[in-house]
Amino acid sequence: MIPILIVAGPTASGKSRLALALAQRLQGEIVSADSRQVYARLDIGTAKPDREELERVRHHLIGIIEPEERYNAGRFSREAAAVIEKLALDGKTPLVCGGTGFYLQALVKPLFEEPAVPEEAKTRIRIQLSRRFESEGGETLHRELAAVDPDTAARLHPNDFQRVGRALELYYLTGRTLSGHFRLAKAAAAYRAFTVLLDPPDKSLKENIRLRARRMLEQGWAGEVEALLAAGVDPRAPGLQSLGYREIISQVRGEISREAAFEAIVGRTWQYARRQRTWFRNRPAELRLDPAEADPDRIVSLWRSQLEKFDGKGGRWPGALKN
């Protein structure tokens, strides 16, 4: 199995900064596990690494699809696996960094094989769900999902129709929930995953979210969105469902002020961060840290010592380490 170092945590917790520091010390490369940074031309609003950071450390799976395309955990796990295997062959440390918990789970745990369903049945259900989303709203579909699959509903926002609709579609077509399919999946772990989870206090996380949102606006987020719309990208495109883009679209259309967009983005980002924290707190991690206490040199030392202690019989390490 290939040893991989994972840096995970909620949005605006400092994952990218820590991952860069670790990658430089380990002569590694970063594999992004961010479901929004995969989109090309969505740079400011998805907090992609800047040019200087990309020059310091090579990154993978960033800006690889257009805003009109869809991307999912299954595709991520396949493409990330290919990158990780290549890095391992080259003698480099694969460092996976991101806050999309479902992607990380898909990488270190097996994805289920979707049952064969006629395409016409899929299309019919998708159209029905899409029409209901337009007429009844996301809250209704989200409550419907929560009634049959509370685990999946807990990590999804009511307005995330792409994922809520997908989970309902699977349930109505197969009679089994998305979380149920994953519980039934069986396969051997491919990686020795050592996870560093950043878990900042509420106060500092809220402050970071506000600071980052303000910085994004100052960097020209509105101009980025204007360019996308001018290039013909549909506001309903999957990429433009990314966190904050709906508010910026409303701003550039003159429907709300810049300050109103800012406050709405901060509020939605905080809600998203809380859901991420709930997800990660219910998942195992070898090291849980307040970002203020995350010392890259100490983490590298622990990583190397754990490599030596790993018993080679399973996909986990000998036990979680104390902070």
- Residue 163 has phi, psi (to 5 degrees) of -90, -40
Mean pLDDT of 190-218: 95
Q: Which pLDDT value is given to residue 117?
A: 78
Nearest to 7 by CA among 57, 50, 41, 51: 57
Model confidence at 261, pLDDT cuts 50, 70, 90, reads very high
Q: Which pLDDT value is given to residue 319?
A: 43
pLDDT above 70 as % of the chain: 92
Q: List residues forming the annotated binding site.
A: 9-16
In the predicted structure, residue 312 carries a pLDDT above the cut 60: no
In the predicted structure, residue 204 carries a pLDDT above the cut 80: yes
Whether domain 2-111+188-309 has CATH 3.40.50.300: the reply is yes
Mean pLDDT rounded to a whole number for the chain: 91
**Domain map (residue ranges) of the chain:** 2-111+188-309, 119-184
Mean pLDDT of 266-273: 98
- Same fold for the domain at 2-111+188-309 and the one at 119-184? no
Q: List residues forming the annotated binding site for substrate.
A: 11-16
In the predicted structure, residue 182 carries a pLDDT above the cut 80: no
Q: Which pLDDT value is given to residue 74?
A: 86
Total residues belonging to the chain: 323
Query: What is the number of other CB atoms lying within 10 angstroms of the CB of residue 15?
Result: 25
Contact 190, 83 (CB under 8 A): no
Q: Which pLDDT value is given to residue 188?
A: 45
Q: List residues forming the annotated binding site for ATP.
A: 9-16
Model confidence at 184, pLDDT cuts 50, 70, 90, reads low
What tokens were used for 107?
A: 């990488």
In the predicted structure, residue 322 carries a pLDDT above the cut 80: no
Q: Which fold has domain 119-184?
A: Histone, subunit A (1.10.20)
CA–CA distance, 12 with 151 (Å, rounded to integer): 24
In the predicted structure, residue 320 carries a pLDDT above the cut 80: no
This prediction's pTM = 0.76
First to last CA, the chain: 26
Q: Which pLDDT value is given to residue 110?
A: 58
Mean pLDDT of 128-135: 94
Q: In what order do the strands lie in the sheet with 287-289?
A: 59-60, 29-32, 94-98, 2-8, 191-198, 287-289
In the predicted structure, residue 116 carries a pLDDT above the cut 90: no
Nearest to 70 by CA among 242, 191, 232, 220: 242
CA–CA distance, 20 with 293 (Å, rounded to integer): 16
CA–CA distance, 180 with 178 (Å, rounded to integer): 5
